[in-house]
């Protein structure tokens, strides 16, 4: 099994699906000869040609709207946002056209809109945002946020084969940082399946994206303090594998939810509400959330580090919940 | 358009060599269908029997009918809310249109939405959403897919002069131009975006002048002359089918009713409406057909009576139908 970075696993999934199904094509800014801002599609134009790897103008509404139209005409487009921050320019296409088409017309819109998100690189307010909650709040859109290379490949293949519009978030801080064995060829991770990445008995940390790795770091440190911490990677926000989350909390009786996105009305609030609804009697401590401070993502390193959720903050909150 | 009113000339219908008399009769029939659907639904609205809004297209009929009539069945069409004529041209049954407008049980949209927002994939017809301009990039994407698949189809899309001021108009048309997509966009300039006159919408002389900026052909035509609309669309479609890329057509008309029937359009100068009433696309075409011996007055009146009787009957029947059951609300959020 080859070892891949998250970025290589995403490229591998795209290449695999494009070889398997000629209806799959890519569109986005600078993705052809240049290979994309992060080089996810490096070498693609040589293999698949410019008809299937389409460079676009800086026009996110045309990229996403164009993908929707191509899907209505029988193709399977994967659109790249150079940075997921720019998805705001195509917001109307996603929430009003893509998200309502199945409901109103009964027609599939098998598009994937993927791209890099997240902070930690001093990239400032317009290249660092975690935008997933906007879309999780829009019925009709699926929302995927992998933390590991093998999951990224399997989830992206599942997203491409899904008849619904799927938003696929890739934390750019993980692109080249995380490396693991990734199955060659066919590898599908069904959307809506969470994964217990570390089993434990005393506390559940529910996380996704970059915070899964922070949670694993915190779990290792707490183990040295004598606490057994379970880490659940939900992998997809919509659909949410509620059963795995609830089951974990019922076993550990304590839960901390964490995401890099800002706190208020973040997806952690939804998870917390569902736990309160379905596992209230199992809880031995209040449900706590660790998320970013409610502000735009600032640029200077001290500010950004203060604003984003850190391992220290998560560790501190976990200790409080364990001691409650 | 104040200058047009000043000259107050009613232009002659400019007959095109592209149409034979049988096709001309078909054009009239479709225009009558669109006009009568409006007349009947306006009447129902006034009686408090209508459900949802009535966005009349009175004054627009020549544009949707004259352009849609150019297309082949395999071509795709993305109409907006004043293009009911195009639905009739594509052969959508009156009952289907009524079911969707009135959100009744059996409608293609299951009661999830109304008016002409439905899609009929068999007839390659995809309705608009209320955010006008949004469907331009979508229609362009449909055309790009055809290009990728090597299918020689053309996609015809419509927008008002109001929707032509959105960002999606620019992004969609520019993308189409860059990719030489088989795409034709018709701007139906009816001179008011709800209550806002064109002088407060854009500063260029003609919206077709924008075509230069996209590197594509553009022309402004009389949108009340169905033959002129047919001819302009024909050449734009031919060009698109030959792989030469998109075209922009601005068709000038007048919105003869309010934005929707709740709106009495008191902000529109009466003399403007008086002038455009004389340019009524339907009445002028009827006169043309009579003057050229293609149809008699009596034949037209007979056609009108038949269509009106059918429209009244179908709308009455559909109004008697129940709304879809509540459980439809929970279906198809995802497929």
Q: What is the pLDDT of residues A217-228, one digit of tens each?
A: 999 999 999 999
Distance from CA of A72 to the nearest CA of B (A): 7
Helix, strand, coil distribution of chain A in percent, nearest 5: 40, 20, 40
| Domain-located, residue B28 | no
Answer whether B112 sits within 8 Å of A104, measured CB to CB.
Answer: yes
A65–B contact, CB cutoff 8 A:
yes
Same domain, B153 and B284: no
Answer whether B119 sits within 8 Å of A100, measured CB to CB.
Answer: no
Is the predicted ipTM greater than 0.95, yes or no?
yes
What pLDDT digit, counting tens, does each position of A150-190 carry?
Answer: 999 999 999 999 999 999 999 999 999 999 999 999 999 99
- Distance between start and end Cα atoms, chain A: 44
- CA B16 from centroid of its chain's CA atoms: 20
Q: Which domain holds residue B167?
A: 55-277
Distance from CA of B294 to the nearest CA of A (A): 40
| Domain-located, residue B44 | no
Distance CA B71, CA B75 (A): 6
- Considering the domain A195-323 in this protein, what is its CATH number? 3.40.50.920
Burial class from Cβ neighbours inside 10 Å (0-12, 13-18, 19+) for residue B149 reads: middle
Answer whether A69 sits within 8 Å of B117, measured CB to CB.
Answer: no
Same domain, B304 and B223: no
- Antiparallel, parallel or unpaired: β B192-193 and A76-80: unpaired
Q: Which of A143, A115, A137 is nearest to A10 (CA)?
A: A115
B203–A contact, CB cutoff 8 A:
no
Answer whether A61 sits within 8 Å of B335, measured CB to CB.
Answer: no
A67 and A113 Cβ atoms separated by less than 8 Å: yes
Specify the number of domains making up chain B: 2
| Domain-located, residue B46 | no
Q: Which of A164, A124, A113, A144 is nearest to A267 (CA)?
A: A144
Q: What is the pLDDT, as a whole number, of residue B10?
A: 86
B232 and B221 Cβ atoms separated by less than 8 Å: yes
A143 and A167 Cβ atoms separated by less than 8 Å: yes
Please enumerate in sequence order all residues whose Cβ is within 8 A of that of A121, keeping only pairs 6 or more positions apart, or say none. Answer: A127, A128, A172, A173
Same domain, B208 and B301: no
What pLDDT digit, counting tens, does each position of A66-75 carry?
Answer: 999 999 999 9
Closest-CA residue of chain A to B179: A56
Same domain, B162 and B247: yes
B119–A contact, CB cutoff 8 A:
yes
Residues of B within 8 A of A102 (CB-CB) are 332-335
Q: For the residues B167-190, what does the mean pLDDT come to?
A: 98
Closest-CA residue of chain B to A110: B335
Same domain, B309 and B175: no
B144–A contact, CB cutoff 8 A:
yes
A142–B contact, CB cutoff 8 A:
yes
Instruction: Give yes or no for residue B165 having a pLDDT over 90.
Output: yes
CATH 3.40.50.150 is right for the domain spanning A3-181? no
Q: What is the pLDDT, as a whole number, of residue A42?
A: 98
Distance CA A31, CA A11 (A): 12
Q: What is the pLDDT, as a whole number, of residue B7?
A: 56
- Distance between start and end Cα atoms, chain B: 48
Same domain, B68 and B113: yes
A74–B contact, CB cutoff 8 A:
yes
| Domain-located, residue B248 | yes
Residue ranges of A 153-182 with Cβ closer than 8 A to chain B: 163-164
Please report, for chain A, the start and end positions of each structural domain, with discontinuous segments joined by +.
3-181, 195-323
Distance CA A238, CA A223 (A): 31
Same domain, B159 and B60: yes
Q: Which of B45, B323, B303, B55 is nearest to B192 (CA)?
A: B55
A95–B contact, CB cutoff 8 A:
no
Q: Is B114 helix (H, G, I), strand (E, B) or coil?
A: coil
Distance CA A301, CA B156 (A): 51
pLDDT band at B8 (very low <50, low <70, confident <90, very high): low
Same domain, B231 and B168: yes
Distance from CA of B150 to the nearest CA of A (A): 11
Same domain, B180 and B237: yes
- Specify the residue for token string 């599939």: A108
Distance CA B173, CA B223 (A): 21
Domains A3-181 and A195-323 share a fold: yes
pLDDT band at B4 (very low <50, low <70, confident <90, very high): very low
Same domain, B186 and B230: yes
Across the interface, which of B76, B129, B178 has its CB nearest the CB of A57? Answer: B178
Residues of A within 8 A of B334 (CB-CB) are 102, 140, 142, 164, 239
| Domain-located, residue B186 | yes
Active site residue A187: no
Q: What token pair was written down for B201?
A: 């919408």
* Residue B119, strand partner residues: B126
Instruction: Give yes or no for residue B2 having a pLDDT over 50.
Output: no
Same domain, B301 and B199: no
Count CB neighbours of A12 within 10 A: 22
- Give catalytic residues of B, as residue numbers: 255, 259, 267
Distance CA A139, CA B23 (A): 45
Q: What is the pLDDT, as a whole number, of residue B135?
A: 98
Instruction: Give yes or no for residue B1 having a pLDDT over 50.
Output: no
Q: What is the pLDDT, as a whole number, of residue B52?
A: 85
Q: For the residues B160-182, what does the mean pLDDT come to?
A: 98
What pLDDT digit, counting tens, does each position of B69-95 carry?
Answer: 999 999 999 999 999 999 999 999 999
| Domain-located, residue B43 | no
Same domain, B306 and B266: no
Q: What is the pLDDT, as a whole number, of residue B6?
A: 46
Answer whether B149 sits within 8 Å of A100, measured CB to CB.
Answer: no
| Domain-located, residue B15 | no
Residue ranges of A 229-248 with Cβ closer than 8 A to chain B: 239
Instruction: Give yes or no for residue B9 having a pLDDT over 90.
Output: no
């Amino acid at each position: 099994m080859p070892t891949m970075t998250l970025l290589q696993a995403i490229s591998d999934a795209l290449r695999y699906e494009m070889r398997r199904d000629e209806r799959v094509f890519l569109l986005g800014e600078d993705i052809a000869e240049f290979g994309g801002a992060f080089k996810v599609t490096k070498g693609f134009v040589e293999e698949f040609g410019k008809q299937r790897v389409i460079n676009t103008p800086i026009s996110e509404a045309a990229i996403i709207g164009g993908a929707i139209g191509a899907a209505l005409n029988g193709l399977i487009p994967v659109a790249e946002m150079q940075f997921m921050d720019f998805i705001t320019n195509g917001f109307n296409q996603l929430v009003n056209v893509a998200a309502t088409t199945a409901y109103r017309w009964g027609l599939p819109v098998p598009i994937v809109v993927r791209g890099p998100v997240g902070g930690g690189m001093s990239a400032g307010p317009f290249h660092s945002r975690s935008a997933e909650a906007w879309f999780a709040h829009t019925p009709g859109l699926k929302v995927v946020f992998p933390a590991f290379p093998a999951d990224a490949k399997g989830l992206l293949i599942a997203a491409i084969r899904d008849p619904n519009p799927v938003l696929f978030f890739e934390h750019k801080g993980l692109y080249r940082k995380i490396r693991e064995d990734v199955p060659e060829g066919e590898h599908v991770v069904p959307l809506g399946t969470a994964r217990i990445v570390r089993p434990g008995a005393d506390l559940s940390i529910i996380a996704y994206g970059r915070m899964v790795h922070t949670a694993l770091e915190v779990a290792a440190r707490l183990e040295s303090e004598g606490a057994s911490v379970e880490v659940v990677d939900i992998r997809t926000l919509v659909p949410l594998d509620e059963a795995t989350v609830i089951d974990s909390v019922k076993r550990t009786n304590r839960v901390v939810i964490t995401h890099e996105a800002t706190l208020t009305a973040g997806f952690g609030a939804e998870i917390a509400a569902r736990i309160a609804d379905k596992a209230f009697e199992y809880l031995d401590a209040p449900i706590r959330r660790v998320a970013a401070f409610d502000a735009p993502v600032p640029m200077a390193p001290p500010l950004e580090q203060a604003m984003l959720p850190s391992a220290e903050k998560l560790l501190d909150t976990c200790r409080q919940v364990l001691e409650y | 358009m104040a200058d047009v009113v000043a000259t107050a000339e009613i232009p002659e219908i400019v007959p095109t060599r592209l149409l034979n008399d049988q096709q001309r009769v078909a054009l009239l029939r479709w225009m009558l269908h669109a006009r009568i659907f409006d007349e009947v639904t306006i009447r129902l609205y006034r009686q408090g029997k209508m459900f949802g809004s009535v966005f009349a297209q009175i004054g627009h009929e020549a544009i949707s009918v004259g352009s849609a009539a150019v297309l082949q069945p395999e071509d795709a069409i993305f109409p907006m809310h004043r293009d009911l004529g195009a639905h009739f041209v594509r052969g959508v049954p009156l009952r289907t249109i009524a079911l969707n407008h009135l959100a009744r049980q059996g409608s293609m949209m299951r009661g999830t939405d109304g008016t002409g927002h439905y899609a009929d994939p068999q007839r390659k017809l995809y309705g608009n959403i209320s955010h006008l301009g949004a469907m331009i990039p979508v229609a362009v994407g449909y055309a790009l897919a055809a290009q990728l698949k090597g299918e020689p189809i053309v996609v015809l899309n419509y927008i008002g002069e109001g929707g032509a001021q959105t960002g999606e108009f620019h992004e969609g048309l520019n993308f189409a131009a860059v990719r030489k997509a088989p795409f034709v966009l018709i701007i139906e300039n009816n001179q008011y975006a709800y209550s806002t006159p064109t002088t407060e919408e854009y500063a260029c002389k003609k919206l077709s002048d924008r075509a230069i900026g996209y590197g594509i052909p553009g022309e402004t035509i009389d949108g009340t002359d169905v033959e002129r609309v047919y001819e302009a669309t024909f050449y734009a479609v031919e060009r698109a089918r030959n792989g030469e890329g998109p075209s922009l057509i601005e068709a000038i008309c007048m919105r003869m009713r309010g934005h929707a029937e709740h709106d009495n359009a008191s902000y529109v100068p009466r003399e403007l409406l008086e002038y455009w009433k004389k340019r009524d696309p339907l009445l002028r075409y009827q006169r043309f057909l009579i003057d050229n011996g293609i149809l008699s007055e009596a034949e037209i009146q007979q056609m009108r009576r038949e269509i009106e009787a059918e429209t009244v009957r179908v709308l009455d029947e559909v109004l008697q139908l129940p709304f879809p059951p509540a459980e439809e609300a929970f279906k198809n959020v995802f497929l």
